[in-house]
Structure 1
Amino acid sequence: MEPIFDVAVIGGGSAGFAAARTAAALGARTALVEGAERLGGLCILAGCMPTKALLEASRRWHAIREVDQFGLQAQPIRPDFPAIMARMHRLVSEFAADRQKELTQGDFQLIRAHASFLDPNQVALADPDGRKSFLRARAFVIAAGSRVSHPPLPELSEIGFWDSNTVLHQTQLPKSLIVLGGGPVAVEYAQFFARLGVDVRLVQRGPRLLKRFDSDLTGVLEEALRDEGIGLLTSASLVSASRSGEEKRLRLVQHGAVHELVAEEIFLAAGRTPALEGLHLPAAGIEIDGRAPLVDCHMRTSVPNLFAAGDFVGIEEIVHIAVLQGEVAGENAARLALGRGAPSRQMDYRLTMEVVFTEPELARLGLTEERAHQSSQPLLVARYRFADHGKALLRGTTRGFVKLLAEPERGELLGAGIVGPEASELIHELVALFSFHATAEDLAQLPHYHPTLSEILTYPAEEIARNVAVSQHQRTLPPSPHHRPSIP
């Protein structure tokens, strides 16, 4: 007789762990099914943590090379790529060990197996030794994650390429590298390798990098990457790929002109796709929209007792969003399975934020200026440059700016963008304010220590607050006598 659980979670990454932990805390008998060889999930094993470890190494190397502007002299040094990779692997192993402990000692049952649906309440399990079994549950949360997208050219598979998994197992720096893609993974790795002396060219199909950010922010990053010697080719379509000896060749078309790029290695960083394979979702009756399952605000799929979360649903492929989605899905699945009423907890994407850890860093929160213009939403927008800010000048990090978006009536903060030093940290002050529907005046009146980077946020807030005050004053003024209607 197969075991019957209240909630079964498929996938042990950030979303799956959050879902299982949440469901178990509500008293649901919970199972977490994970078939991957290593426990930990994408963020720990091949995403957030290893990339940030590598970026920190290249950031420090770059800083050492610029110490002369602070009146310092450094002894000749060189980057040690194997040592950089060894440090990254050690840190990843430590993070993974902590997560493995949480998964194996949690208040839920961990089952090491691949799952495939037989119907909405039952999955077939295949463990690493090939043994077959079955599992039934009143509700499921699918958090199976994502996989590297297929290459845009079949020839790439023939000549070989790196992806975000295989790049972590390299032991030698290539002399030259072509990066395909324009998202966070592409730009972060492009800068990492370029700073270690690799000749890097980045090829992007779209007209600019980081399409989820406003173009004024990404323009600053593009300028910085070019200044560091990275070749950027945007609006470029791949035509063919081939190999000649140790060299790999790409032919592409850009603005009607044909180009040929030659490099020692090619890094495919063109994104990820929800991992639907092997789950047999049609047997469960789940409706798929293109490449991902449809979910509502409760993270519920088209089948009432099946929920989904994380990269698997492809809404916002960001770890903290995956955790929130997992918690929402886990709570709602537990409520349903335990007979405590219909799903009630909802996702709120108003506070969606994203960070890119290049130098300069980029961060966005809430509404973007371009999205507001597309919907003709009225806005007040104010910017302030790091080049005009005292602490940034002291640090020698003056590239970029901060900007705030607010609605015109009260000045409530609706969106923010930062490109510049410590953007990943500065954005969190704004998250706290946005969560309480704060206005620009609220931010402007908060005391900030001087000199700090964070006080730069008050300057665009002051400008918006002044504009709101002027507008409110004008609305309260009596009509001008020159515009009073005449009396017949």
Structure 2
Amino acid sequence: MAYDVIVLGSGPGGYPAAIRASQLGFKVAIIEKESLGGVCLNWGCIPTKALLKSAQVYEYAKHSTAYGINVSGAQHDFGAVIKRSRGVADKMSRGVQFLMKKNKIDVIMGYGKLKAKGQVEVTAADNSKQIVEAKYIIIATGSRGRQLPNLPIDGKNVIGYREAMALPTQPKSMIVVGSGAIGVEFAYFYNSMGTKVTIVEFLPRIVPVEDEEISKELEKQYKKQGIEIMTNSTVEAVEATGNGVKARVKTQSGEISLEADIVLSAVGIAANIENIGLEELGIKTEKGKIVVDKFGQTNVAGFYAIGDCTPGQALAHVAGKEGVNASEHIAYTEKKFAHAPEGIDYNNIPGCTYCTPEIASIGYTEKAAKDAGYDIKVGKFPFMASGKASAAGATEGFVKVIFDAKYGEFLGAHMIGNSVTEMIAEVSVARKLETTAHEILNSIHPHPTMSEGLKEATAVAYGEAIDV
């Protein structure tokens, strides 16, 4: 079977790459070993947001009297919550199936392995094998949950994110190891459902990639919600007990023992680059990732790689853009596209965490800006002063902006609060357009909205604040 382009993996990088290649006039096949849409759509981004929405609705019901609404005896059905989440994922996966048909892309189900230049061997579920060929191959094999040697995932006592999304019964208590996006999202979900949650984080603060003030605010809000947080701590070992697990935790003041029904390991991800034929073809890897140039090209002609298996941020929206760029570069090489795609600015990638309160950030943190040598202006607007936040009953958090003091360059923004994941795109576009503080201050933001918090924070940075 011969194609122009083969895409290995159908996640949020793979399927956009396949669609864009088809739009550009190529004959395309996509190879998928499990479900169209990959981890993000089936076991990551989408179903977790469905779980978090159920938790949020339950929280509203429990606190409805704050809005003048009396809801008595609000209860959740854990099984129904999980079922809804799986239904949302299944619907989205069927949507990708439709897109493949619409764009005349052949879907080949099975495990793909690179065999030679322009060749992929596909092993189907019944162990039958076939060779498919193409001039160009885009590797989009994604990632999986990373496992620590002293914390092996057994699916029963120690689980990963996949098991956490579909537990048959709700645990009464849970230890979450790791406080990145996955860890804090599941911590919020299970705590809201009534599980006693303890977060154990190796580093000095939770959500450690965020600005320090964001970390402090989330820790404050989580403690209010009843989540126990242990930073500067590591889980040394976990052993099964008759009723659950016992974790030996090393803290700064010594070792302690924690007991819970279950442990969720959320200690990051590892790229899926093993056993796909990279070594045999001499495709270069470094630090567990495939090395690529700004167009996604590997060191071996005809092979591209995108998404979580490459060094950029492991985010669905990054993978999608990398996939489109790879296909456009192939088309440019084949004289089917007028220009080479623009390389991605990896310092202008929005990061979003969908716990409550939400977190959204982009660009430099305050510390990173100072370390880079910038003289900065910083503005911070608390949602406590926002009319829309007060009306919504969600005044937690703030917007923090960072500008270069000399030229007004928009260096970064960090937000925590209600709906901030919907607000961060404005900053992404503003920074792409090289917008300065002056343009933000003179762009009229609608009132009352959460988004006007961005303009208000900018006003604070320049001593022009009206509402704080």
- Contact 2:175-2:263 within 8 A present in 1 as well: yes
SS in 2 for 1:239: strand
The one-letter code sitting in structure 2 at the alignment partner of 1:22 is R
Q: Is 1:237 paired with 2:208?
A: no
- The correspondence for 2:6, drawn from 5, 8, 16, is 8
Which of 50, 54, 65 pairs up with 1:57? 54
The 1:118/1:175 distance shift into structure 2, 3 A limit, reads same
What secondary structure, in the 3-state scheme, does the structure 2 residue paired with 1:75 have?
coil
Q: Distance in 2 between matches of 1:309 and 1:29?
A: 19
Structural mapping, 1:10-29, within 5 Å: 10-29=8-27
The separation in 2 between residues aligned to 1:78 and 1:157, in whole angstroms, is 31
Aligned 8 A contact 1:204 1:235 in 2: yes
Aligned to 1:178: 175
The C-alpha deviation readout for 1:427-463, integer Å capped at 9, x for no partner, is 1222232222111121111222322222222122224
Cross-structure match for 1:327: 324
State the partner residue of 2:73.
76
Whether 1:33 and 2:28 are equivalent positions in the alignment is no
Secondary structure of 1:311's partner? helix
In the TM superposition, 1:124-163 aligns within 5 A as: 124-153=121-150, 157=154, 160-163=157-160
User: Are the counterparts in 2 of residues 413 and 439 from structure 1 also a CA contact under 8 Å?
Assistant: yes
Cα distance, 1:105 vs. partner?
A: 3.9
Aligned match of 2:246: 249
Opposite residue 226 of structure 2, the aligned amino acid is G
Residue deviations 1:77-105, cap 9 Å, x none?
Answer: 11111111121122221111111221244
Aligned to 1:351, the other structure's residue is in SS state coil
Residues 253 and 259 in structure 1, CA contact (< 8 A), matched pair in contact too:
yes
Range moving further from structure 2, 4-13 or 260-269 = 4-13
The aligned residue for residue 398 of structure 2 is 401
2:244 and 2:303 mapped to 1: Cα distance? 49
Question: Shift of residue 170 of structure 1?
Answer: 1.5
CA shift at 1:156, angstroms? 5.2
Q: How does 1:96-107 map to 2 (within 5 A)?
A: 96-107=93-104
> In the alignment, which residue of structure 2 is the partner of 1:221?
218
Q: Deviations over 1:268-306 (max 9, x none)?
A: 111221111220201121111111111121111122321
Counting matched residue pairs gives 464
Residue 370 of structure 1 and its aligned partner are, at CA, apart by: 2.3
- Indicate if the aligned counterparts of 1:13 and 1:41 stay in contact, CA closer than 8 A: yes
The higher radius of gyration belongs to 1
Do the aligned residues in 2 keep the contact of 1:6 with 1:334 (CA within 8 Å)? no
Q: Is the 8 A contact 1:354 1:363 kept in 2?
A: yes
Matched AA of 1:6: D
Measured in 2, the distance between the counterparts of 1:98 and 1:31 equals: 17
Query: What's 1:415 paired with?
Result: 412
Q: Give distance in 1, aligned partners of 2:258 and 2:324.
A: 46
Residues 110 and 338 (structure 1), Cα distance of their counterparts in 2 relative to 1, 3 Å cut: farther
Q: Distance in 1 between matches of 2:407 and 2:261?
A: 56
Equivalence for 1:86: 83
Alignment partner of 2:369 out of 372, 395, 403: 372
* CA distance 1:319–1:344, change in 2 (3 Å): closer
SS in 1 for 2:158: coil
Instruction: Provide Cα deviations, 1:285-338, integer angstroms capped at 9, x if missing partner.
Output: 111111111112111112232111111214211111110011111211333356
Change over 3 Å in CA distance of 1:155–1:328 after alignment to 2: closer
Q: 1:208-248, CA deviations, whole angstroms, 9 ceiling, x for partnerless residues?
A: 12222111011111111111111111111222211121220
Partners in 2 of 1:315 and 1:250 — Cα distance?
Answer: 34
Report the identity percentage: 27
Residue range with higher mean Cα deviation, 429-438 or 220-229:
429-438
Distance 2:339 2:293 in 1: 13
- The 1-side partners of 2:151 and 2:265 are apart by 12
Aligned with 2:439: secondary structure? helix
CA contact (8 A) 1:336 1:342 kept: no
Equivalent residues of 1:411, 1:464 under 8 A apart: no
Give the C-alpha shift of residue 135 in structure 1. 2.3
Greater alpha carbon shift after TM alignment, 46-55 vs 128-137: 128-137
1:387 corresponds to = 384
Aligned mates of 1:54, 1:326 — CA distance in 2: 28
